[in-house]
Amino acid sequence: MPIRVHSDVEGLEHCYVEVSERWSTSDFSAIFSGRENWIEVFRRRAVGCNLETADGETLTNPNDAIDRFDDLDLRLVFLVNNSLTIATDHLATLGKATRLASSGAVG
């Protein structure tokens, strides 16, 4: 099930980027190793979106978010740029209790 990263900008709360929950460690490393690598991973791991351009057009294909990045509503640029990091931060916290229990930790 994809992870939906929502906008918290007033009036744009309906905007989001959906990110796959399936990641490799090489994908994760690539998002921090330059813009071109980030774009490549975004194209593979962003699976849906609902974004607006500055002119009010709705983009629903994640590839359009990259191809038309300069047309995005400026208030959504932060959302797109950080969607992969936010999603992977969420993924990194899943299963934490299981890891602790299986490592023999108490508590």
CA distance 72 to 66: 9
CA distances from 85 to 11, 55, 80, 94 (A): 23, 27, 10, 15
The pTM of this model reads 0.83
Instruction: For tokens 């194209």, name the residue.
Output: 43
Helix 77-93 × helix 35-45 angle, to 10°: 70
Q: How far apart are CA 107 and CA 95, in angstroms?
A: 15
Q: How many CB atoms lie within 10 A of CB 41?
A: 23
What pLDDT sits at residue 32?
94
Give pLDDT tens digits for 15-59.
999 999 999 999 999 999 999 999 999 999 999 999 999 999 999
